[in-house]
Every structure is written in C-alpha cells, then in structure tokens.
Amino acid sequence: MKFSTLINLVKIQSPAQVLLSILAVSLCFGASDRASASPTCANVNVNIQNGTPDTVKVTNFEYFDTTQNAFVPKNLLGPSGTQQLTSGTVHRATRNFAQVGGRTQFRVTYQHKQGINNFAAPVRVTTDRFVCIDGSTQPVLLDK
C-alpha cells in the first residue's frame, strides 16, 4: 500500500478511529516481538561446583517451572540420582528446560560427608532467577 493511500485513509477516519487503529497495530507488533524473543532454553550447560572443603553428595536438582509455579525435579545426576563431589570438583550436565517460560532458577540439595559412610543433614542452595537462553552455561555453587 502506498503511503499517500494510507494518509487518505487516515483523513476519512475520525480521530478516535485513528487512535484505535494505531493502538491495535502497536499491540500486534509488541506481541510479535515478545514471542520471537522468548528463549526456548535448550542445551543448557549446568555446572554444579563443590565450593566447600568437604566431599558432598548431591541428592536432588530442581528447576523453577513458571507454568506450575513450583520447583520441579530434573534428573541431572545419572541413574543413581546422586553424585559425590570432592572439594573443588564440578559436575557438568546439559539439559533442556523448554517449559520454564524464559525465566527460571535452579535449586540443589546436597549433604556433607562425615566419616566413612555418613552424611550430614541435607543443605539447599538456590540460584538467583535468570533468563534461560539456548546453549548458555549456568553455574551452581555449593558453598554452605
């Protein structure tokens, strides 16, 4: 459509109709921009680092699902569901978190090793909320 034709159309409309047309167009463009910018959160590298002086056993990994408004467990630790980390060790895993709605946070539960086969009461760390982006790396520091 030519610009001059558009101007002529605007001239025959009332000011209220012009305002409504502009509002409708701006809402359409705003919605499409948000939809195209929404991250899918695929192939995210999660790095769980033991920042304590002790060996720890990671027993649970969860992410915040905005559709459920709750933390949801995700298998990040292999078939046993646990992972022991010596001091300074990093456990790396790549997972998809498509259901988070763009923003999420991670929560990890772990226990400090005491003696040969004993572990202390569970401790939890939760990351700050972040925008989850495809292929990004998200660290989780165990430091309590």
Same domain, 14 and 58: no
In the predicted model, is pLDDT for residue 10 greater than 50?
A: no
- Check residue 3 and give its pLDDT: 44
pTM above 0.85, yes or no: no
In the predicted model, is pLDDT for residue 32 greater than 50?
A: no
DSSP state of 98: G
Same domain, 67 and 130: yes
Which band of pLDDT confidence, cut at 50, 70 and 90, is reported for residue 44? very high
Same domain, 29 and 93: no
DSSP state of 101: T
Same domain, 75 and 115: yes
Q: How far is CA 95 from CA 43, 50, 71, 134, 142, in A?
A: 5, 20, 16, 10, 19
How many domains does one find in the chain? 2
Same domain, 31 and 83: no
Q: What is the mean pLDDT of residues 62-71?
A: 92
- Check residue 39 and give its pLDDT: 56
- Check residue 40 and give its pLDDT: 79
Same domain, 89 and 125: yes
End-to-end CA, the chain: 64
Percent of the chain with pLDDT over 70: 73
Percent of the chain with pLDDT over 90: 58
In the predicted model, is pLDDT for residue 61 greater than 90?
A: yes
Would you give the distance in Å from CA 73 to the centre of its chain? Answer: 14
Expressed as residue numbers, the domain containing 138 is: 44-142
Same domain, 17 and 86: no
Same domain, 124 and 77: yes
Same domain, 70 and 32: no
- Check residue 12 and give its pLDDT: 56
**What is the residue-wise DSSP string for 102-113?**
TEE-EEEEEEEE
Same domain, 93 and 56: yes
**Mean pLDDT, the chain, as a whole number?**
81
